Amino acid sequence: MSELARRARFLLPALVLCLLPFYVDAFWLRVGLFAMAAAIGAVGLGLLSGTAGQLSLGHAFFLAVGAYGYSWLAGEPGPGLPPLLALVLAVLLAGAAGGLFSPVAGRVRGVYLGVATLALVFLGHHVLLTADSVTGGFNGRSVPPLTAGGFGFTDTDPELVVLGVPFGAEERLWYLGLALLALTWFTSRGILAGRPGRALAALRDSETAAAVMGVHVARHRSAAFVVSSMYAGLAGALLALAFRRIVPDYFGLALSVDYLAMIVIGGLGSVAGATAGAVFVTALPLLMTRYADHLPLVATPGAGDGAVGPTEAARYLYGAAIVVILLYAPDGLHGLARRLRARLRRRRTPSPAPATASSSTTLPPATAVRAKEHTP
């Protein structure tokens, strides 16, 4: 692939994403914003579980730290810090929470680490319900809007019209989400392509072999947990800005399971795969909720007992998708797309024409000479 084609492969989707707010309504922008926030968190979990091979069921806890950290740091009650500073500190706070847990992550692996991180979700949910002065308890708390340099990511602060299109909160947050997702892609791909990524992949394959090659096992596993927690904190803060009000029930075990589904469906150890899986898992229930009236066997939200709602139906669908992928495409959507591109490339490449030569050229030189001597 030429350099121009490689650049076009990234620039064309980026251009389409930048133009979408001019052509789609607020619903689709909200779906995209939720998907971008989920993609940021999924990239972090993919770095931890797909590249480093550490099972984590506590991703929802670190999303909650980022979401509530931003809401408290920038809001009232709270320090009332500038929102942009509060966003940065919320990400660092999530990383610090991961750092406090990293000694456990550095020494425990496999299903034992999964159970240990599962305890984080239950502990965090209890704290969110009981720490009323910080979290607002069961009713949650409102999220202060983000402002930077006098520009607010709200509907009217200030009023903004671009090419005849009024830019409200969804349009402005859309571009914020794109910028944060681009930052996530740049940093995560840099980690995977550099020495840290190779060290984490070596740990996943064999800790003994990695230790022999000079990789500090506990240090790299702890560092992977901290970096993954920071990505989750950033995703949680972006989700909070999109929701505008957060409640503890959102950050439960189901959210952690959703993130595991994202990286399995998209492909373990792949930034693009984690993004694709996040879009699939996030957008599916929202789309099914919107079009429930037109879907068979799916009841509208608020229907009677025993009916299968859009959220439940979506979980059934991507649960089935996980089973199918594990059976037929263990490397997920990313691996499937890679094989499809390779097949298309082979079809475009013309096969070499069969060689046509005279009988004299097909014979060895000495044999050709003797044949010429005996010719009358």
121, 57 contact by CB (below 8 A)? yes
pLDDT tens per residue across span 312-325: 787 788 788 888 88
Nearest by Cα to 258 from 201, 189, 327, 322 = 322
Continuous segment of H or E residues that includes residue 112:
helix 111-130
* CA dist., res. 231 & res. 89, Å (int): 13
Continuous segment of H or E residues that includes residue 198:
helix 195-205
Nearest by Cα to 64 from 144, 138, 121 = 121
87, 237 contact by CB (below 8 A)? yes
209, 198 contact by CB (below 8 A)? no
Q: What share of the chain is helix, strand, coil (3-state, %, to 5)?
A: 70, 5, 25
* CA dist., res. 227 & res. 94, Å (int): 9
In the beta sheet, which residues pair with residue 246? 141
Nearest by Cα to 35 from 227, 239, 250 = 239
Kindly give the parts of the chain with pLDDT less than 50. 357-364, 366-376
**pLDDT of amino acid 306:** 60
Tell me the pTM.
Answer: 0.86
**pLDDT of amino acid 309:** 75
How many Cβ atoms sit within 10 Å of the Cβ of residue 375? 6
DSSP state of 145: P
Backbone conformation region of residue 286, classed left if phi is above 0, alpha if psi is from -120 to 50, else beta: alpha
**pLDDT of amino acid 43:** 94
338, 346 contact by CB (below 8 A)? no
**pLDDT of amino acid 6:** 67
How many Cβ atoms sit within 10 Å of the Cβ of residue 349? 8
